[in-house]
A and B are shown apart, each in its own frame.
Chain A
């Protein structure tokens, strides 16, 4: 079982948090902080497993994480998950995001948390891995956004226009700003598939 999936940046700002067990908002924040604390002090070239996510679960749990440019992707899992499998799943997740957002960067995650959630929902459900095939995940995610678009139809057009205008006014949106760029191309795991 996956207990929680967290994405935060190098400063510990949460970009996505998905807990598969209920915690109060305060506890959640504390878990995020603590996890960030544990993960961020590790060097780049150490292993990606950490024992004792103290707050979530207990000794059975592990933190498995990957660090991409400005973002940490952390999965808290119990012993029924394969460590390398989860690492690979993180890779699949990030690559999927990369495809869905076309060169994903931190800003995409910041502004489209809902979309990230929706993609994640196609991969992991209730703490269990639902789908690992990237093309299947993308197909389903895209089918749903298509539906969304068709529902919005003409009525949505003005809103989209306004939103585009708003975006234009703000210089931070372009992706070439360094802070938010994620370089996804990370040496792959020994092939899993």
Chain B
């Protein structure tokens, strides 16, 4: 055996390690693949050996090969083996390999769950670290679900190294297992204030990632982040927070107002460019969100623009790039501030760096005005010519089109110029954007009526010179423009000077080489042209020309009839037959022109892209309903063709409504015209408006004088330049004219020289050269408000859109390993978990804090609903207040005021008064906010102030009491008192005195135990067993200066109640408390008890043993305590509807009992709140000073109370199906009130 080991180790020496492999690959450059395949064979052999070191070495090599692109998934199982090695060295190799090649589809992943769990709880922090790192790369939904709880535990690990990794990985866990977000969130939030900067940074990181996707859920954290921002000095953290604020401000403009000042300060003070840049960015976001309002914005904008200018002028290209990037954000809302830096931006267009040029282009988009459009586009056209590389040129092309077409061609004053630009762009070689140019041509020609004649002429030239465009069919993206050209020429053929010529151009044999869809358009439009030609020649006596045209078509069309493209073929053969028929008629001298023209009569209007989608469904129309019942009769077939038409004319799909609709439509059209008439931005087309402006009508625009052959035949002289010059002249002349003629509007002279004309000109507003009608795209009447495109349904973040302020539900608890004793069946997390609340049960303090906020919000919301106030208002109230409030909360000391007692005294104070009910009131509040709302007066605000005061007072007191624990104030563990306030106030007019459900269990000089008992885990309904479970949360607080460890919690079981111990443990074994306590730290553990009979209160004796470890020594200590289970602790707050409640009372199964309390000196609602809070009842109904309440025990007993109050006397009539339980509960209630 020994020999074998030695031999193995010697063998190993000569195994190839990673370095050898790399070296080998480098030495086999010419036959690398072959060498690697032999290496893989070797690796396979190595993996078969038992020696883990050999395996690890093999896996290490595989990781390298994986990087080179070799699939190593076949070794997944070996990787798992190496991962589970006990040696850190190998474990790390295994995890690295796993992180590189495991993914959700790797089936062996499910074998790793327990191994990972073991590593996570390893005493060696690096084992844990390596496991976390690996897990972060290959976590699957299953792993996330199974390990979420363990990772959450690690978030409170003593070592910051582990804490930060655990915090960070939670983000991955949330993504894979969204249900974990809510239970884990409170603790995550707590980590924002972790003493270790690394952990804090990790928490900020995670929350920022979460908030980026669903910002609205994180608005409530704004105060906390605000505090962090003003206090943190870590630039990483600051940047993240500032970025986060950038995401939040659009949702809450008031947050923005608050931010401006600190951000401005940072901008002035920081020396870090990265921070400066992010600050500027967020200020911009703020300014955008505010957009209106505050007048002193201009200062902030100026500051931003000024800083950005500095960045852009910097020699560092990175800063230049980012400066431009940020500038483009300002541009959207404050274009003027940016426009003043036009020089700088145009300069950037010449930068050698393409990224920077692209950014500058983006900026230009927003900087154009009527005045400078031509100039800017001219510059861009120059760049187009110079540009190398098609990407950048294509980018330029799209930019030019974007710039010109933006906001409905707002900045174009001369459409002839634009058409010329488009035509020039067609000369770009190899662009991908032919279709873009084409659609622009179509759009302009259709919507700008005045330009049609010019456009048609240009298009005719294009068609005539089509061979220039299609010269190389390989890169024929540009030939798309022929599609537009053909269509425009056909549709607006009446403007054609020589339709015959164009027709001839469209029927050239070369056309057959174009893509099918273009040919189809050619054929169709050839027919339109044919109609035009016929009409033109109809009047003439000589029918020769018309007949020639027919013959031309008949000669040329067969080429298309043979086309392989069905569309082309069909259209061609159809038209061919038509022409043949016409030819026959022509020969008989029949006049056909009119009829042929009728084929193409009517105008096509542009339809908005989303128009179809926006047609509202008329009332009473159920699209899913059968029009006729579906029986198999063939009649239903007839319905189908109609549906086809319905698409085109959704409004008139049913013929019987047609008439009505026709009228309606006319009315609407009228209304729309009216609206357009009132819209200053709508350039009117109606003849009347032309008269008003005294401008030449469309038909008067002289097209003739433009030499059409120029643009294409003289490539050196781009013709759009002419327009620039012309425009200059025109403007100057206009100015001159204006001076001369003062305000005279007659412009007849103008009409001759130039087609342009304009009214008086102002500096800002340059009049267009044409009065053009930009036809708006048609939308259906009553179009639905724009529905933005939905988010990607596959976005994993969608699942994380979770309301974090809502209290947790039972069903949300994280799965917990059952063999972990302390948390046995605990709905919540592990040990200290205040963070994991359970649904309608008890919550731990942290959670309560959350909940409190939530409730406040709820309250406000309901109020607001009632009053129909604007939503903003309520946030407005909340925000300024919550800032200080947050501070108070965080400083809140963790204990309920309990007098510190001397050593070794065991106080058992868990009397009835301390019973736990907080969540019950919450549930009650939630279940019947409707009823209670009405009783709620407006002064929530004042009550809040009072509350705050109280809190502060309390806090001060406590500070005095416990100076020692100062530093851990943020450690929220027990804010019970405060929460109870909240619970109370939900339904109250005035604040309640603090209530707590944590009571002192035992205390000595070392440790203090606070208990909050009886979280009933089992809802009896789901779990009818003969025993029921109660969870007791105990907070352990280390009061000493030494380290406490090896804590064991043990309880002497009684017949009725037993501590649940792990399988295999004896009935007298203690449970190890799953954490250690450094000095001053407190933590919470949960213990589960099973109880058989719940009708009587119980007391259990217990002992806590622990080791006190100081530098020199360690001693064993113990602390005795008594656990008191009251009967109310067996009650679960269960909401009940009044009708169910009435039935229950009528059923007669319940036995009654009653109680009178004298001298109760508190408002009725306080009384109710107390009962709800301490005794787990919920209010069913309340009428004046009389209320019915309900609760249920864990074993399903119903408990009903009728509480009446008059003059300090409270009478409680109670009914329950278990008299002794009822008796005890009533006793406890009595005790509660006797105490106060």
Contacts and interface: CB of A to CB of B under 8 A. Distances in A.
Interface stretch (B286-294, B314-322, B512-520): B314-322
Interface stretch (A69-77, A93-101, A118-126): A118-126
Nearest to B212: A80
B710 interface: no
A163 interface: yes
A177 interface: no
B274 A110 contact: no
A129 B236 contact: yes
B206 A128 contact: yes
A114 B272 contact: no
Interface in A60-99: 80, 82-85, 87-88
Interface string B54-67: 00000010011011
A111 B271 contact: no
Contacts of B168: 125-126, 128, 130
Contact of A114 (B96, B133, B321): B96
B704 interface: no
A40 interface: no
Contacts of A148: 88-89, 92
Nearest to A120: B133
B171 interface: yes
Interface residues of A, number: 66
A82 B13 contact: no
Interface in A132-152: 132-133, 136, 140, 143-144, 147-148, 151-152
Nearest to B25: A110
In the complex, which of the residues A18, A85, A126, A148 has the most CB atoms of chain B within 10 Å of its own CB atom? A126
A172 B19 CA distance: 12
Contacts of B104: 22
B272 A191 contact: yes
Contact of A80 (B130, B209, B235): B209
A33 to B, nearest CB: 10
B208 A49 contact: no
Interface stretch (B335-343, B351-359, B641-649, B685-693): B351-359
Nearest to B356: A47
A12 interface: no
Interface string B584-622: 000000000000000000000000000000000000000
Interface string A152-192: 10010011001100110010100000000000000001111
Contact of A88 (B88, B274, B321): B274
A24 B101 CA distance: 9
Interface in B215-252: 235-236, 239, 243
B847 interface: no
A47 B212 contact: no
B70 interface: yes
Contacts of B321: 47, 49
B1155 interface: no
A110 B164 contact: no
A125 B63 contact: no
Contact of A46 (B63, B126, B277, B352): B352
Given A125-B132, A125-B168, A82 B243 contact: yes
A143 B126 contact: yes
B88 A113 contact: no
Contacts of A80: 208-209, 212, 243
Interface in B55-96: 60, 63-64, 66-71, 87-89, 92-93, 96
Contacts of B66: 25
A34 interface: no
Nearest to B103: A22
Contacts of A88: 274
Interface string B1062-1095: 0000000000000000000000000000000000
A1 B209 CA distance: 8
A113 B406 CA distance: 51
A17 B198 CA distance: 25
Given A16-B67, A46-B317, A152-B89, A131 B137 contact: no
Given A82-B239, A84-B322, A49 B273 contact: no
B1178 to A, nearest CB: 43
Contacts of B103: 22
Contact of B355 (A17, A50, A87): A50
Given A129-B236, A193-B235, A166 B20 contact: yes
A1 B243 CA distance: 13
A71 to B, nearest CB: 15
A125 B235 contact: no
Contacts of A14: 67-68
A91 B136 CA distance: 24
Nearest to B239: A82
B89 A118 contact: no
Given A45-B317, A47-B353, A126-B169, A17 B67 contact: yes
A17 B137 CA distance: 13
Contact of B273 (A28, A29, A51, A189): A189
B172 interface: yes
Contact of B137 (A43, A110, A126, A130): A126
B19 A128 contact: no
B1141 interface: no
Nearest to A161: B13
A117 interface: yes
A102 interface: no
B88 A144 contact: yes
B681 interface: no
Interface in B815-844: none
A129 B274 CA distance: 16
Contacts of A51: 355, 358
A190 B271 contact: yes
Contacts of A152: 89
Given A148-B89, A151-B88, A172-B26, A47 B67 contact: no
Nearest to B160: A136
A118 B66 CA distance: 16
Nearest to A121: B133
Interface of B: 9-10, 12-14, 17-20, 22-23, 26, 60, 63-64, 66-71, 87-89, 92-93, 96, 100, 103-104, 124, 126, 129-130, 132-133, 136-137, 139, 161, 164-165, 168-169, 171-172, 198, 201-202, 205-206, 208-209, 212, 235-236, 239, 243, 271-274, 277-278, 316-318, 320-322, 352-356, 358
28 contacts: A1-B209, A17-B67, A18-B100, A46-B317, A47-B320, A47-B356, A49-B318, A50-B355, A80-B208, A84-B273, A85-B235, A85-B274, A110-B26, A111-B19, A114-B63, A121-B130, A128-B168, A128-B202, A129-B201, A130-B165, A136-B198, A147-B88, A151-B88, A159-B12, A162-B13, A166-B19, A190-B274, A191-B272
Given A128-B205, A148-B89, 11 more contacts: A18-B100, A46-B352, A113-B67, A125-B165, A132-B201, A147-B88, A152-B89, A190-B271, A190-B274, A191-B271, A192-B272
Interface of A: 1, 14, 16-18, 20, 22, 24-26, 28-29, 43, 45-51, 80, 82-85, 87-88, 110-114, 117-118, 121, 125-133, 136, 140, 143-144, 147-148, 151-152, 155, 158-159, 162-163, 166-167, 170, 172, 189-193
